Structure 1
């Protein structure tokens, strides 16, 4: 998948000029499947992990120049790695050196004033950030190209690390997570730890002999640069391909000024959600459930199920076009079991995968869902409500990963030619969720859940609320047409996409 543009990320720049990107909470599959090429026993079993709290992670490995400034400023006795270029990653760094750097940086006056505290990432935090939503061997797919990272390959055997930022970032905006220099993590290493580690923000064992190193290096083959590969070494070992990157946490009462935040999108509620990192799911479900429907369809190709939501007092329902494209009749089922026939459609928009339907009646106590006027921001908590696999009114939650335009999606998913803006989320969706609302913390619709990517982890996509608003404006005043099979089949197009399926 192609990477989000920089303005999709929330950054801070500290007093040293180090740039760190916000990594939002989320869930991922940690470790390697037994079928992964190069998988080792230490990477098993592959298991689900939830990162409960967001954090800032260095966009780049700590450079020679940054290491020099902190350790000299603190009159440290640690080594100053030799290099002709201060933009090369600091190397010859032991775990002890890296943790000393974090302590010294945290104690610098400007960092104390901003209440920024630095440490090494845990092993789970490192792998979650490295994968950036991908379930493949690398953040860029199952193969690592010499155009993606500095590593040892038969066609190219580098003699040193590349300058930081030489290669493209992953989808979280992080550079050189594969190759370049090995990166120390804060945890103790245990080869069997995955068999008993916690699901929620796990930390390493309480003690051990070795510290974790991750990511491979310029000396390592691609198999050692995989997202799941893990190894360990003594805390005092220094090698010319050992380095690190820092993780930063912010005190909730942080006095970080607006000028510390670069390329941060604006939104009405997103920044507050980034701080709290939580949704009141039970409150949201109670608030919006009466206005969400399961859509049951019948047609020449048999029965189908999808989701939709009420947007006015007249009984207008929004859903995906592919939910009803083959329907000859349909009904809406509300959360309390109330069934209402769908009289027909006001408009069908195959190029946006949207349909505007009309109910024959509106049961009492149903309130239209408001549609948000703004794009969400990356890291914002969201919720989906729908009928996955027919299990009606199932809520799931996650975070916004990116906002992607039609051209970017078409490049990542060849054949997807829908002319919409996509909201990428980690919110789990499945067949039956199609057409259901993606909701922010205010109970506003920010998108229509549409596609899940089978080849990745937590790669789910919704048509944006701005596209919904445009569709509703075009359908305003139109008469109701009887349901009938449509000439354009979006379902077939979506099914044909490599690694994607209608949800």
Structure 2
């Protein structure tokens, strides 16, 4: 969610000493004018209204507290920012479960040159797994997007069509893929259906992605998290994954028209006209590269990520509601995002591939991991 100054727009309240308002602008003052603007569909109008509400005592504070439930992350962050230093008991009670973080979002052109860097904010919560291990879950706002890749996009294939509109309800998704520290903590929890090796990975490091795990083991991981927390943790659907990766973008990568080795961990080669980079040819610690506009890290490269869906050869008949597309529990499961040994074209937002649920297909077990999702219910 973008956090940056906004210019006055249509329907803004205009106060004395400013430029003349548009003919159809709402010229209202006082708390009633603030209330009217807080009901405006324009995010920028609601943000401006919140900043005015702080001047109206308890009535204004109540309006700002109410805005913590706004559908817009930018509005919620503005409300949080206005309230976070206040000492009233009612404010502290409402803020107890709200956390936000700021981050820079980078966009590049086809030459890999940075053309913009903007400050964004996202809401998240922290799941305490014990022994100093924490799982950070980022709120992904609901919305509608076009899933798939246009046929003129470099590297696109017939499995990425037809383009189709998908409506995705809000949900939480892991800020990072599951790390070896996360895995070890959850593997120590009581077994639900199957055993989990607490140390399965080839490359060792607590902040490295867990790998050498199967789809079924990822499901067991989620089941144990559910038993511990009461929250319905799961693998993201393929639609949720692509929606979260794109984060409102329509370019091949959420970074823009290409990626470079400074933006993601992939294996070799160039995608557009960017210079050749340097490639680690191994997994890197999570968060080593910049995030996308939703605040998710490493959505391109590093490790492939299991989704909940069974593999289908194309999108004919795919769900339009963001749910997982599951057939007869086939052995082939969708993986997304690309890995550390792969060409950048296979790390595109729309690129699809599959792995056997046992994660032994074509020796990819060293490069496949997963991140978790859960419903967007208010966290208590």
1:158-204 CA-partner distances (Å, limit 9, x unpaired): 23111000001000000000001100000101013x12223232431
**1:203 aligns with one of 280, 304, 324:** 324
Sort the Cα spacing of 1:204 and 1:24 in 2 relative to 1 into closer, same or farther, 3 A: same
Are 2:285 and 1:160 aligned? no
Cα distance in structure 2, aligned partners of 1:56 and 1:243: 18
Aligned to 1:81: 200
**2:338 aligns with one of 207, 216, 235:** 216
* CA positional deviation for 1:250: 4.9
**1:32 aligns with one of 133, 145, 149:** 149
Are 2:210 and 1:97 aligned? no
SS at match of 2:128: coil
SS at match of 1:97: helix
**2:359 aligns with one of 224, 227, 237:** 237
SS at match of 1:20: strand
Name structure 2 gaps, 5 residues minimum: 1-106, 108-115, 270-276
SS at match of 1:164: coil
Cα distance in structure 2, aligned partners of 1:202 and 1:20: 19
More helix by share: 2
**2:127 aligns with one of 14, 29, 38:** 14
Aligned to 1:72: 188
Sort the Cα spacing of 1:58 and 1:134 in 2 relative to 1 into closer, same or farther, 3 A: same
* CA positional deviation for 1:10: 1.0
Aligned to 2:104: none
The CA RMSD measured in Å over matched residues stands at 1.8
Are 2:174 and 1:58 aligned? yes
Aligned to 2:372: 246
Cα distance in structure 2, aligned partners of 1:4 and 1:104: 38
* CA positional deviation for 1:47: 1.8
Cα distance in structure 2, aligned partners of 1:105 and 1:199: 28
Sort the Cα spacing of 1:250 and 1:37 in 2 relative to 1 into closer, same or farther, 3 A: closer
| TM-score, length basis structure 2 | 0.62
Cα distance in structure 1, aligned partners of 2:306 and 2:320: 22
1:16-67 CA-partner distances (Å, limit 9, x unpaired): 211111001111111010000000110011222111x200000000000100
The number of aligned residues is 246
Cα distance in structure 1, aligned partners of 2:117 and 2:358: 36
Cα distance in structure 2, aligned partners of 1:4 and 1:41: 34
Name structure 1 gaps, 5 residues minimum: 258-503
Q: How does 1:378-393 map to 2 (within 5 A)?
A: none
| TM-score, length basis structure 1 | 0.47
Cα distance in structure 2, aligned partners of 1:101 and 1:94: 11
Query: Quick check: which has more Rg, 1 or 2?
Result: 1
Cα distance in structure 1, aligned partners of 2:339 and 2:195: 26
1:69-108 CA-partner distances (Å, limit 9, x unpaired): 1012335622322444200011112111111100011111
Q: How does 1:78-477 map to 2 (within 5 A)?
A: 78-79=196-197, 80-82=199-201, 83-108=203-228, 111-112=229-230, 116-154=231-269, 155-192=277-314, 194-207=315-328, 208-238=330-360, 239-251=365-377, 256-257=379-380
- Alignment check: 8 A CA contact 1:55 1:247 kept: yes
Cα distance in structure 2, aligned partners of 1:183 and 1:4: 27
* CA positional deviation for 1:234: 1.4
SS at match of 1:212: strand
Cα distance in structure 1, aligned partners of 2:128 and 2:151: 44
More relative contact order in 1 or in 2 (CA 8 Å, sep 6+)?
2
Sort the Cα spacing of 1:201 and 1:73 in 2 relative to 1 into closer, same or farther, 3 A: closer
